[in-house]
Amino acid sequence: MKLIIAEKPSVARAIAPVVGANSKNNGYTEGNGYIVSWCFGHLVGLLYPDDYCGEWAKKPWNFSQLPMIPDNWKFKVSKDCREQFDILKSLLNDGRVEQIICATDADREGECIFRYVYNLSGSNKPVKRLWVSSLEETAITQGLANLKDGFEYNNLYDAGFSRAKADWIVGMNGSRLFSVRYKNPLNIGRVQTPTLAMIVKRDKDIKNFVKQKFFTVDLNLGEFKAISECIDNENKADEITVICNGKTATVADVNKEIKTINPPKLFDLTSLQRQANKQFGYTAQQTLDYLQSLYEGKLATYPRTDSEYITDDMEQTAIDVSNSVANTFGFTVVGQPNIKRIINNKKVTGHHAILPTVNIANTNLNELPEGQQNILKIIALRLVCAISEPHKYESVKATITCENNSFSASGKSILQNGWKSIETDDDTNETKLPNLTVGQTFEYVVAEKSEHFTAPPKAFTEDTLLSAMEHAGQEEYNEETEKKGLGTPATRAGIIEALSKHGYIERKGKKISATEKGTQLVEVVPEEIKSAKLTADWEMKLQQIEHGEYSAYSFMNEIEQFVKNICTTYAIVDNSGKFTNNTSSLGKCPKCGGEVVKGKYGFYCKSKCGMFLNKVYGKELTENQLKNLLDGKEISYISNGRKTTVLPEIIENNYNGKTNYQWKTKK
């Protein structure tokens, strides 16, 4: 028999009928020579320091414990998943099973999820790898017909395991080191802290911005205006205005150029998250959750991709999907579809760009949650735009002179609207200039001085933060260099959520800013801990490990030496008071009226009435969410692609006298 192990029960349910494993058992299905079972995501993970040895478990933490670098990495089974792990272990060692098929998600994380379970089970049976970008029956069937040996993905596992170990070493040692140094509980992350540093820097740039006044002189020429360059000196602007007012202006030069704006590329995960934030205000995590649900529902292809292209063998698939999109949503291609534009084999490594599947034509999409509907629509729209005709316009730039002063005017005339006729968020308005000729004059022009101010930098949104994370550290590299950046498409949403969970950032509408706690953390940690470039360099090396171009051993040596150096350099208590104890009140306790603050394990009342709170149906609350509830505002979160709203009235009368609230929710 063959044992197929999927990452989640929902994926196993998609695979089982394809192979004929329809007989249900506890933790697996069986039939037709196959057993199909599943993980619950990370069944197995790395041990925490306290579980390694007594020295590392000592409280309070101290410098003598550092650096903590395991000689042999150890794993543990999640308490909530012990039963399913035992089932998998039994199946992996079942005498009936001759071959294992790894069907976890086809990426670093998925590879590690399977390998951790396989290694801990003690099995040594041969492994094949199922690699698919869609859970449609045809994709699964094709994937099963083209299984590869598991060892061909050793580099992928090495990259994933190296990332996990690097995060552990930097995070665990850094958190303890600087918590002891500043006598405050601090959370340091290999990618998290440099991301926070970018947010803090942007906040400071906004706070310290001093607006500068500047001027232009505008010539009113009847049908259009010509504008001078920016002028810092107001007296100079006044002088030009007086000199030119009522005089004759002459067209000195006219430059016409046909310009083409090619259709946008298909979505990878990051560009989809950015667009969804811009258009709907969704967080990166919400978009990923919605897309994951669509993938598991066989309505969209694999989510965690960093490619914006498809391969040449998918040409007919793209045509079929675009036809389904037209029939389902009414989005139609402008002109003749150009599938070649979205094909690039060299830029598709693990997975192709995100696409809808043909299953949308046979599904009642109105039954989907609103978020899933919105994500599916913009994926479908992007495909149609990507294969439509380019947008073309004539650009006209004119230079106007008046009394030896130069002014400029510009306009455009649309020649072919192309893909922009179906893209709803792009401005396609014409700004036409009249037909101008060199030497043409305008009599008695009106000159006016205009006052302007420089604009401050804009606060990060999820859209712009994702872009900044993606491009961090790329300044010194050409376009052919593989993407560096902070994190990967698969991990960036989690990094942002972790910063929010730890109270280092907060969201106000679409805007993201650092809290006082986050700002203080960035101020006290040294540059090497918050360096975006160093972290981006590490990420590039992980990509090289994945491709067999760099040694995992060398990478880990570099990480270990880095941690040893910072532990040597900063293992000194800092009594300067740079980091204040952030125990500011989040609101009033609903039981006794005392101040509610955040502690190490959750939120509690300082009056010691017994009030304690941490999770809502398994979801940990952020400081901002609890503030809103205590202020009488409802909050919401996404779980399994569905939105749950927690009502504020539960704060008033539902305290049960022990350690939590009886929460009410609406869906």
Cα dist. 63→189, 353, 577 in Å?
18, 47, 19
DSSP element (H, E) containing 467: helix 462-471
Distance CA 369, CA 391 (A): 34
Q: Is 302 assigned a catalytic role?
A: yes
Residue 316: DSSP 8-state: H
What are phi and psi for residue 23, nearest 5 degrees? -90, 115
Q: Which of 34, 116, 282, 302 is catalytic?
A: 302
- Residue of 505, 537, 539 lying closest to 522 (CA atoms): 505
Distance CA 321, CA 300 (A): 11
Q: How many beta carbons lie within 10 A of that of residue 134, not counting itself?
A: 24
**Cβ contacts of 97 within 8 Å, gap of 6 or more:** 1, 2, 3, 35, 91, 125
Assess contact for 509 and 280: CB atoms under 8 A: no
Determine the distance from the C-alpha atom of residue 589 to the mean position of all C-alpha atoms in its chain, rounded to a whole number.
35
Distance CA 618, CA 620 (A): 6
- Residue of 193, 189, 185, 171 lying closest to 66 (CA atoms): 171
- Where does residue 458 rank: exposed (0-12), middle (13-18), buried (19+ CB within 10 A)? exposed
The strand pair at 249-261 and 148-149 is best described as unpaired
Assess contact for 153 and 113: CB atoms under 8 A: no
- Residue of 161, 156, 188 lying closest to 70 (CA atoms): 161
Assess contact for 270 and 306: CB atoms under 8 A: yes
Omega before residue 337 within 30° of 0, cis: no
Assess contact for 465 and 255: CB atoms under 8 A: no
Scored b (16 or more CB within 10 A) or e, 219-231 reads bebeebbbebeeb
Phi-psi region at 348: left, alpha or beta (left = phi > 0; alpha = psi -120 to 50): beta
The strand pair at 619-620 and 460-461 is best described as unpaired
Q: Angle formed by the axes of helices 552-570 and 154-182, to 10°?
A: 0
Cα dist. 308→53, 142, 166, 386, 630 in Å?
46, 23, 28, 10, 44
Secondary structure class of 509 (helix, strand, coil): coil
> Which residue type sits at 128?
K
Cα dist. 56→60, 165, 559, 567 in Å?
10, 17, 20, 15
- Indicate which residues carry an active-site annotation: 302
